Amino acid sequence: MQRTESPLIELAILLAALAGFVDALAFTSLGGFFASFMSGNSTRLGVGLGSGSSYDAAIAASLVMSFVAGVILSSVIGRARPHRQQPVVMAAVTLLLTLAAIVATLMPGPVVLLLLAAAMGTENGVFQRDGEVTIGLTYMTGSLVKMGQKLAGALMGDADRFGWLRYLALWLGFVSGVVIGAESQFRWGWNALWLAPLFAAVLTLLLASMTRPRGRPDLTLVR
């Protein structure tokens, strides 16, 4: 995140808010499972296995696998379209969120959650370099750890005194999305999910604009 340009960091905060929004809808609508927080789903998997709740264990395991499938999809896109990776990956996220909204309208249930998990796994591939994720958009534990490390460094006199603010902003973006998602679900139920692909489409267009290759300058002499 330290090597990411400022406009893209601001966009990363918006993407984190999208992840929080989707996670809140999933959690409040489908029995406390998560679309982006795989540590939580892993805990649900373990508790389900330990308590003999095979249904909960199966849902949690399916969500983890769906999330990983989304990560794989974003990695494949990154290799196939290295120069337009970010907008193309985000377009895939938008498509998955649109499919989830359609299914939620017709038959709400676990399939919606699987599509949301796949979308969130894919979203994590928006910011990657050499096949490695540079900004984790859907899991905040890493951001909080980095924030604590940077804050400790600032307190001990490191030159980078305000690097921790970027990680705080990312966390606040996610939490803000959760608040909006919970409120939207309370007001509109599954219809609120349509806001996710609309917002994702806007972010896709922004990424496409910000990462568009610049043409060569016209060096023709005017006579």
- Model pLDDT for residues 108-161, shown as the tens digit of each residue: 888 999 999 999 999 988 887 765 666 777 778 878 888 898 889 888 887 888
Residue-wise pLDDT for 80-95, tens only, equals 887 788 889 999 999 9
In order of 171, 175, 218, the CA distances from 183 in angstroms are 19, 12, 52
Residue 211 pLDDT = 72
Q: Model confidence at 45, in pLDDT bands (50, 70, 90)? A: very high
- The tokens describing 163, both together, are 């690097």
- The tokens describing 220, both together, are 């023709």
Residue spans per domain, the chain: 6-209
The CATH classification number of 6-209 equals 1.20.1250
| Spatial separation of the C-alpha atoms in residues 12 and 131, rounded to whole Å | 18
Mean pLDDT (the chain) is 85
Q: Model confidence at 218, in pLDDT bands (50, 70, 90)? A: very low
Least confident window among 100-114, 145-159, 201-215:
201-215
Residue 183 pLDDT = 93
**Contact at 8 Å (CB) between 138 and 170?**
no
Least confident window among 117-126, 140-149, 190-199, 206-215:
206-215
